[in-house]
Amino acid sequence: MRPIGIAGLQLDLDKGNNLDRLVAEVRLARTRLAWVDLIVLSELAVYGPSVEFAEPERGAAEAQFCRTARELRTWLIPGTHFTKVGDKIFNTALVINPEGEIIARYHKMFPWTPYEKTVSGGSEFCTFEISGIGTFGLSICYDIWFPETTRALAWRGAEILINPSLTNTIDRDVELAIARASAAQNQMFVFYVNGAGRQGFGRSMVCGPGGEVMHAAGSGREVFALDLDLDLARRARERGWHGLGQPLKSFRDSEISYPQYAKGARSEALDALGPLIMPKSREET
């Protein structure tokens, strides 16, 4: 067995500075759930969705979360916050180990354009190791809509996807279907943590490697913790989920060339859709 306890904190947060509140919530979760190894917060939990709060890397939020992880001796993914790198702003998630060290810093690859038009997209996939447990993959919210991102993490060995999100729109049902499909297609766990209340619609979800729902949160504040065994993902990949399909092996062994991934490839059908722009009302058109 390769068990790990993971807690998701689905919180009702303000749109401003939540740093002290988040540290208190992490402390509380660690006290109540002493068996948990990793604590995960939601997207833009720290300062909310405004880029005006963007901090430089190694700013106040990063320093505080590192101190907290070290003090509590826990792995911590403190949601995300906007960071400034040169003249660009990224939506950034950290992976902090129990020594308080940042072992990974991930920039969201697919900002929610055209709405997040001032936010740049990252270009580096993020996997990290927890010794004796296995390989974890990290993506952020809208990234999960692009199956290539999750498949790339599975390709690199990730047996569980951690995805902090912030959704307050009517497509939450669609996102939950995507989460289940991502788990089944890649035979991995998906740990999907959304914000609640004033910022998000909640309804976080944890899926198993067959796409099965292991936990479905409600719409309000909720702290949920699961004891997961990554050997279940390995077994599903080797034997098929309940002895059924083995899609990762089929993908690995296929000789198909995908035309959309050829260098310089263009699609007449996609080009015909026009530029990526903000939708307009009838009065504006």
Q: Could you please report the per-residue DSSP string of 192-257?
A: EE--BTTT-----EEE-TTS-EEEE--SS-EEEEEEEETHHHHHHHHH-GGG---HHHHHHH----
- Kind of pairing, strands 75-77 and 38-40? parallel
CA distance 208 to 233: 8
In which residue are the tokens 């101190």 written? 67
Residue 136 has pLDDT above 80, yes or no: yes
Q: What DSSP element (H or E) covers 180?
A: helix 172-186
Domain parsing of the chain, residue ranges: 3-253
Confidence (pLDDT) at 241: 97
Confidence (pLDDT) at 284: 77
Note if the bond before 164 is cis, omega within 30 degrees: no
Is residue 185 helix, strand or coil?
A: helix
Confidence (pLDDT) at 283: 80
Distances (CA, A) of 133 to 92, 118, 123: 24, 38, 27
Q: Give the pLDDT band of residue 280 (cuts 50, 70, 90).
A: confident
Instruction: Name 38's Cβ contacts closer than 8 Å, sequence gap at least 6.
Output: 4, 5, 6, 7, 74, 75, 76, 77, 130
Confidence (pLDDT) at 282: 81
* Chain mean pLDDT for the chain: 96
Give tens-digit pLDDT for 7-63. Answer: 999 999 988 899 999 999 999 999 999 999 999 999 999 999 999 999 999 999 999
Burial class (CB in 10 A: 0-12, 13-18, 19+), 4: buried
Confidence (pLDDT) at 15: 84
Give tens-digit pLDDT for 146-194. Answer: 999 999 999 999 999 999 999 999 999 999 999 999 999 999 999 999 9
Share of the chain above pLDDT 70, in %: 100
Confidence (pLDDT) at 272: 97
Q: Is the dihedral of CA 244, 248, 253, 259 positive or negative?
A: positive
DSSP-assigned beta bridge partners for residue 149: none
Residue 285 has pLDDT above 80, yes or no: no
CA distance 259 to 256: 9
Q: Give the pLDDT band of residue 281 (cuts 50, 70, 90).
A: confident
Confidence (pLDDT) at 14: 86
Q: Give the pLDDT band of residue 112 (cuts 50, 70, 90).
A: very high
CA distance 95 to 199: 23
Taking alpha carbons only, the member of 32, 28, 38 closest to residue 8 is 38
Give tens-digit pLDDT for 203-215. Answer: 999 999 999 999 9
Q: Backbone dihedral region of 269: left (phi > 0), alpha (psi from -120 to 50 degrees) or beta?
A: alpha
Tell me the whole-structure pTM to 2 decimals.
0.96
Give tens-digit pLDDT for 232-246. Answer: 999 999 999 999 999
Domain 3-253 in CATH 3.60.110.10? The answer is: yes
Residue 73 has pLDDT above 90, yes or no: yes
Write b or e for each residue in 29-66: b if 16 or more Cβ atoms lie within 10 A of its Cβ, otherwise e: bbeebeebbbbbbbbbbbbbbeeebbbeeeeebbebbb
Report the pLDDT averaged over residues 107-115: 96
Taking alpha carbons only, the member of 133, 179, 140 closest to residue 159 is 133
